[in-house]
Structure 1
Amino acid sequence: MSGVTGILVGMASESHIADSHEVIRVVGARENNLKDVSVDIPKRRLTVFTGVSGSGKSSLVFGTIANESQRLINETYPTFVQQFMGQLSRPEVDALENVSPAIIVDQERMGSNARSTVGTATDAHAMLRLLFSRIGVPHVGSPQAFSFNIPSVSGAGAVTFEKGGKKVKERRSFEITGGMCPRCEGLGEVSDVDLDELYDKTKSLREGAIQVPGYNPDGWMVKAFTESGFVDPAKAIQDYSAEERADFLYKEPTKVKIAGINMTYEGLVPKITKSMLQKDRDSLQPHVRAFVDRAVKFLPCPDCGGTRLNEGARSSKINGTSIADAAAMQITDLAVWLDTVNDPSVAPLMVGLRQTIASFIDIGLGYLSLDRASGTLSGGEAQRTKMIRHLGSALTDISYVFDEPTAGLHPHDIQRMNRLLKLLRDKGNTVLVVEHKPEVIEIADHIVDLGPGAGRAGGEVQYEGDVEGLRTSGTITGRHLGDRARLKDSTRAAKGALEIRGATQHNLKEVDVDVPLGILTVVTGVAGSGKSSLIHGNVPGFDDVVVVDQSPIKGNRRSSPATYTGILDTIRSAFAKANGVKPALFSANSEGACPACRGLGVIITNLGFTQTVETLCELCEGSGFSDEVLEYTLDGKNIAEVLAMSAAEASVFFSKGPAHTTLMRMIDVGLGYITLGQALNTLSGGERQRLKLAISMAKKGAIYVLDEPTTGLHLADVENMLGMLDRLVEAGNSVIVIEHHQAVMAHADWIIDIGPGAGHDGGSIVFEGTPADLVAGAETLTAQHLREYVGA
């Protein structure tokens, strides 16, 4: 059945769409690669948006519907408030009708604010603070007395107030009672510099005692010490007097004259603290970052034991349990403890608190604790944590927008997620889900399938209707919906092993395991079982390990796949050689920039309290390059035309050389549709990981650690990913994959299954062996689901 026929059949089969007020109507959407997409989405139903990666799903759901909903809501606020809010531009769409308020629950990791925890992010900790302030013994104050973000301070200040019609100023004393530990300032840990990493005490400065990157014995950085007059440059540091040692390590900035030049002398510790330790770790050069990781040790605060709270807050208890004890409990255990609190004076509060804690368990996060730093959550965990606020909400007729809510979920947990999605729908809400997993597609009331391909080859609606219609629609999604990988006839033999002994990170229970080398190993287990703790906590310590995860790629709006992979350098050199000019001329960030937009391709107009307006630069027509640069060509194409090519197109244009090799790797990992000049911040987590993998694949004989590489992959692309993993192994590498997708499990040479449950119910190896052995004889949760998947 053609895509158009599928649309007609699907729409005819759903009579509830007939009423125009019962649908969200999109007319002529053109965001990113969308090609005048018009679609009716039923309200108060569960609609799943499908299609290959890059087909336009997110552009329609997030870039158009959710974006416009939030923009319209923001416009209802006073202009004074709007100036403090994020400015959203109107999406490229002719009309968008009957839009309901949208709540976006995406996979963006929570900010790595050191003061944010699972408890503070969900208001569960606020309710705990209120509980302890009411019935904790001894009584130590209001809820803020249990907050690790509020210090205890006292003092005096002038206050002005009206008395008898006149303004009166008086000096009054004040006292604020907060729960912050004064030593660690509520962070729970203190940093300490390991002096042994800074210098070799057996050497003198002239002999190269300082081991900090850039501090060469004959360089200016060391000369500031050797010629300062404060220390003897020929004496071993271990022989320094107490005064010399203090001057060398901690002396305050002091003016000195070195080689006739006025300079500021400063002790080594404050000097490197400012130049290295206080900078964003990810912005440092790799060798400097490695030094910082060695030199700075973060230890639990000795005063509060890592609880972040002062002694007063920790002293107040309920049934022998302090608020620090409660926050540190696994949430499933916290639920049990809350059932022991039956004071009638806090009964209404307990109802809300118990509901919130129950939501954690219902959503599959019962293995967390409320004191867990929110920045340590994975993308999937962060998305489910954001859901907590909405599960108990009394609001209805809301549009909830989800971005692959099954990311990071074991098949066992996907069933639970499906129940929650249907619960939100049954409360009278519109639920919009971007998803690839067939388990979620199959519970949809309505499906919108986009494609047929990715990038410029996508952006069109291929099918609208129910699941049964999708199966027979003939679209890529329909054809692959029933795909099932089968167990391999034979598996590769290991060529050695990484020996992990006594692993105890997080919930791991003295785990001993041999991770095979030279084959494809898949590490499985339910969310929170200890997979990441085992692999990320131990494997990177071995040699030749390449970790490829979904963390954001550093860069600004000028960064692109071409700059990130280094292809742009090759392209610029090729253009320069062909035209007899400098390579810098072909950089929109340098000499080749359009003088009007300075290489951005758009003119940005700041309108103060209203939204910032971006308009296409008329001079360069959005290319970012000057007219002079665009006159130069390479095989008939100018630099802007080359950067507008997809990786697949560019691989044909650059048919040999290093650029071709890198482009083929991008195609190999399923990124052939991405254009070379696309902004990096528009890539999804899965796309980012695959781009990192593409530039890492050049290394041979390495150990690759991949964290859920199927995230964001369409069913049709999973087979390509399996082929790529095989090629990595066949090239002499070892591949370790943390994964939930059954197709990857079935394709593995070896499986390490961790469990049996999550949190303190996990942390043990419950199976090691081939997928065939797992299916044939094991009774773990993974075995049960893989058995069902392969039909064994």
Structure 2
Amino acid sequence: MNTDNGADTESPSPHIADTHELIRVYGARENNLKDISIEIPKRRLTVFTGVSGSGKSSLVFSTIAAESQRLINETYSTFVQGFMPTTARPEVDVLEGLTSAIVVDQQRMGADPRSTVGTATDANAMLRILFSRLGQPHIGPPSAYAFNVPSVRASGAITVERGAKKAVKATFTRTGGMCTRCEGRGTVSDIDLTQLYDDSKSLAEGAFTIPGWKSDSFFTVRVYADSGLLDPHKPIREFTEREMHDFLYREPTKVKVEGVNLTFEGLIPKVHKSFLSKDKEAMQPHIRAFVERAVTFTTCPECDGTRLSEAARSSKIDGISIADACSMQISDLAEWVRKVAEPSVAPLLTTLRQTLDSFVEIGLGYLSLDRPSGTLSGGEAQRVKMIRHLGSSLTDVTYVFDEPTIGLHPHDIQRMNDLLLRLRNKGNTVLVVEHKPEVIAIADHVVDLGPGAGTAGGSVCYEGTVEGLRAAGTVTGRHVDDRAALKETVRKPTGTLEIRGATANNLRDVDVDIPLGVLVAVTGVAGSGKSSLMHGSLVKDPKAAEAGVVAIDQSPIRGSRRSNPATYTGLLDPIRKAFAKANGVKPGLFSANSEGACPTCNGTGVIYTDLAMMAGTAATCEDCEGKRFQPAVLELRLGGRDISEVLAMPVTEAEAFFSVSGEARTPAAHKILQRLADVGLGYLTLGQPLTTLSGGERQRLKLATHMAEKGGVYILDEPTTGLHLADVEQLLALLDRLVDSGKTVIVIEHHQAVMAHADWIVDLGPGAGHDGGRVVFEGTPTDLVAARSTLTGEHLAAYVGA
């Protein structure tokens, strides 16, 4: 049948058709990207490679994923958008062919004490439903098993009138499973009063020893001294019983100090609100040190750390309470759930089994559901976030991963590869930022950025297949097949650091001698007990302090937009002093957070305009032109440069600037800059906001800072995190320099190049969780390869071609 009605029947243009097969990026300029344009095939696995700081995250996360999520947010009503975070459009000319992006990054989960692995996934919610249906005795709805829900609440209210007075009566019913003693936290705190004040002094004499409590502060010291409730001239140890109660525990009471209305509150609740209600990791170092001195946390004696009420703990299925279930290793819990046979909840049991099996499949079977989410490493947190996506029926979405193999033993990387390929095979686009050659090898498409880092990066060096990458001659192409060789000779120990009877977490009464004066690699599958042995046992051992142990873990760097490498490392202090001395002024003028700040932008360099439910805009401050300082400050110079020009210098340029003779010569600054260059951060500018640094850059910044500490033993937790293959050699050279200078370096590592380069290996296992916790090998890398008695030995042998 002829259906031609005279209309133009020409097929769609190839350009339009291609948007269904490609994600097109034109003119991307976010961060250090240099106006790049690329085409990414959809429904394929694309790996983005390049040295740390080359622009991978800027392209994948800050451009592609950010624009996808911004466009999705714009589909909601303006009312709904008003409750959502607003993000500005990335610096890019055109983005075509985008699909919904699901970002699975390494950002650690919140440190809220009530957040656990179970609450961060659907597993805890499903268990609560299961126990509310099958648990005996039956105690109520699912919330009765929830430690995040208070155990009593008002269920109704009746107003009773008596003359002019009205009284409200409420009835209360048990609804939640929260332990009333610890309020669902599992721990209770005890405050050491000797750390808060010196009781031999009076308030007027400055008895308080709390950081930041200055004698002239109305809201802290003055409210106690001038409240009229206490004698400010009497030593605290001579307070009457009533004065002591008011001083420590009084309920909030309105008082007047020099005509100003203030609230007087007992010191204990005041300290709780001021310090204990905040994330300890977000505190400044001296405040965190104070909290660690003043407060001890112990397991709640009422719930035994389970966070649950007695009623919730009394309800059981086949002798197992929900507290027992949550404390099980997840691989064991999955087996227990399989044995629960009840047709009435069959769909729930099926879904719960699938979720728990996903934990095991992704290499997290050693965790328990009651594990606080804030204690997970970045890699563990990323894999927990993956759980909800593995069973998803969604197709044709874009999954974005940030180095998903971080924290994984070579034995587990193949499982991660299988998961990435499974997501692709379901018809999804998978974008992965990765350095590991094992992951690069499975890519359908590779985008290599560089050629260098920072201002030397931001360009596309190669696009195409993995085979093409090997022949491309880029930094990644030249190093993708690199394999480190075993050392022919190893260093001789100068002594030993003994660990005896280590039982932290899953360790099984471990005895091990750590050799001193050499490079030691602590290896084993994820969850085998490596961090427990080092951070949970060695660091906490009194002998560690004598040996000068300095531990550098994976906890993130906290910083605002104003924080940068100069402020974080303490580099800004000698720089400001040098500027002040050269110009005869105060050092404070050279701080963009203090006196020298541009008054228009308050030292941020940008003017931010809030457009309510629409994305806000950030424009460069016209008065200071983004330099952050007052014009008068910018006229003051050191070695011919103003302070903004110095902060715009890369580390390597600044190192040369502060080492020359003349007024710019600043040995204190030069030492810090030398350490930054040593850890491979020579390309960073001194004033670059910490919020723009990649995970690998932040880890190395911490390492550079800790190198200034006086310690004989360094413990590094996966220092290769975020490092390009070409940069691993530089890291190994740095570790060698530390050891050759008389230090002992202990690295917890999965990277085979580090294992091969070590003088001594301590391998834990043989498995994870309760299948690990034992030392399965001690000796040289050569002996480990020869024995091939452990998973690590097998993979190291394959890596070195033995």
TM-score, L = length of structure 2: 0.88
* 2:527 match: 528
The 5 A counterparts of 1:519-598 are 519-541=518-540, 542-543=544-545, 544-598=548-602
1:704 aligns with 2:708: no
The 5 A counterparts of 1:658-737 are 658-737=668-747
Q: Bigger shift: 727-736 or 89-98?
A: 727-736
- What is the letter of the counterpart of residue 562 of structure 1? A
1:362 aligns with 2:366: no
Residues 44 and 425, structure 1, Cα contact 8 Å, conserved in 2: yes
* 1:179 match: 177
* 1:327 match: 326
Q: Which runs of 5+ in 2 are unaligned?
A: 1-13, 160-167, 661-666
Question: C-alpha separation between the residues in 1 aligned to 2:369 and 2:303?
Answer: 17
* 2:164 match: none
Shift of 1:397: 0.4
- What is the letter of the counterpart of residue 63 of structure 1? S
- What is the letter of the counterpart of residue 710 of structure 1? T
Residues 211 and 290, structure 2, Cα contact 8 Å, conserved in 1: no
Residue aligned with 1:21, SS: coil
- What is the letter of the counterpart of residue 766 of structure 1? V
Question: C-alpha separation between the residues in 2 aligned to 1:189 and 1:679?
Answer: 36
Residue aligned with 2:20, SS: helix
Question: C-alpha separation between the residues in 1 aligned to 2:342 and 2:787?
Answer: 50
Shift of 1:275: 5.7
- What is the letter of the counterpart of residue 603 of structure 2? G
Shift of 1:270: 4.9
* 2:795 match: 785
Residues 63 and 91, structure 2, Cα contact 8 Å, conserved in 1: yes
Shift of 1:116: 1.1
The 5 A counterparts of 1:485-524 are 485-524=484-523
Residues 507 and 530, structure 1, Cα contact 8 Å, conserved in 2: yes
Shift of 1:398: 0.7
Pair 1:77–1:330, CA change in 2 (3 A): same
1:34 aligns with 2:33: yes
Question: C-alpha separation between the residues in 1 aligned to 2:254 and 2:131?
Answer: 54
Deviations 1:205-242 (A, max 9, x none): 69x998956799x99979969x99889979989xx997
Q: Bigger shift: 637-646 or 261-270?
A: 261-270
Pair 1:64–1:248, CA change in 2 (3 A): closer
Residues 505 and 533, structure 1, Cα contact 8 Å, conserved in 2: yes
* 1:412 match: 411
* 1:9 match: none
Shift of 1:778: 4.2
Deviations 1:590-634 (A, max 9, x none): 333223222211111111222221112222222222333333443
Shift of 1:560: 0.8
Question: C-alpha separation between the residues in 2 aligned to 1:159 and 1:235?
Answer: 47
Shift of 1:75: 0.4
Aligned CA-pair RMSD: 3.4
Shift of 1:363: 0.3
1:625 aligns with 2:617: no
Shift of 1:134: 1.6
* 1:767 match: 777
Question: C-alpha separation between the residues in 2 aligned to 1:379 and 1:501?
Answer: 29
Pair 1:246–1:125, CA change in 2 (3 A): same
Pair 1:362–1:235, CA change in 2 (3 A): closer
Pair 1:243–1:497, CA change in 2 (3 A): farther
Residues 503 and 511, structure 1, Cα contact 8 Å, conserved in 2: yes
Question: C-alpha separation between the residues in 1 aligned to 2:206 and 2:429?
Answer: 66
Match 1:634 to one of 632, 638, 644: 638
Percent identity between matched residues is 67
Question: C-alpha separation between the residues in 2 aligned to 1:618 and 1:233?
Answer: 57
- What is the letter of the counterpart of residue 751 of structure 2? H
The 5 A counterparts of 1:121-136 are 121-136=120-135
* 1:649 match: 653
- What is the letter of the counterpart of residue 28 of structure 1? G
Shift of 1:122: 0.8
Deviations 1:635-656 (A, max 9, x none): 4433222212211222222225
Shift of 1:748: 0.9
Q: Aligned residues, how many? A: 762
- What is the letter of the counterpart of residue 696 of structure 1? H
Deviations 1:378-427 (A, max 9, x none): 00000000000000001000100000000111111111111100010011
Shift of 1:498: 2.1
The 5 A counterparts of 1:372-521 are 372-521=371-520
* 2:760 match: 750
Question: C-alpha separation between the residues in 2 aligned to 1:678 and 1:770?
Answer: 42
Residues 212 and 291, structure 1, Cα contact 8 Å, conserved in 2: no
Question: C-alpha separation between the residues in 1 aligned to 2:453 and 2:460?
Answer: 12
Shift of 1:743: 0.6
The 5 A counterparts of 1:15-414 are 19-155=18-154, 157=156, 175=173, 177-194=175-192, 250=249, 269-270=268-269, 272-273=271-272, 277=276, 280-282=279-281, 286=285, 289-414=288-413
Pair 1:224–1:617, CA change in 2 (3 A): closer
Q: Bigger shift: 547-556 or 680-689?
A: 547-556
Residues 151 and 309, structure 2, Cα contact 8 Å, conserved in 1: no
Residues 230 and 247, structure 2, Cα contact 8 Å, conserved in 1: no
Deviations 1:3-32 (A, max 9, x none): xxxxxxxxxxxx999944201000110001
- What is the letter of the counterpart of residue 307 of structure 2? R
Question: C-alpha separation between the residues in 1 aligned to 2:273 and 2:30?
Answer: 44
Question: C-alpha separation between the residues in 2 aligned to 1:197 and 1:639?
Answer: 40
- What is the letter of the counterpart of residue 86 of structure 2? Q
Deviations 1:504-531 (A, max 9, x none): 1111111112222222111111101111
* 2:165 match: none
Q: Which runs of 5+ in 1 are unaligned?
A: 1-14, 161-169
Deviations 1:327-349 (A, max 9, x none): 11101101110111111111111
Shift of 1:151: 1.8
Question: C-alpha separation between the residues in 1 aligned to 2:751 and 2:99?
Answer: 34
- What is the letter of the counterpart of residue 668 of structure 2? P
Residues 523 and 763, structure 2, Cα contact 8 Å, conserved in 1: yes
* 1:12 match: none
- What is the letter of the counterpart of residue 787 of structure 1? A
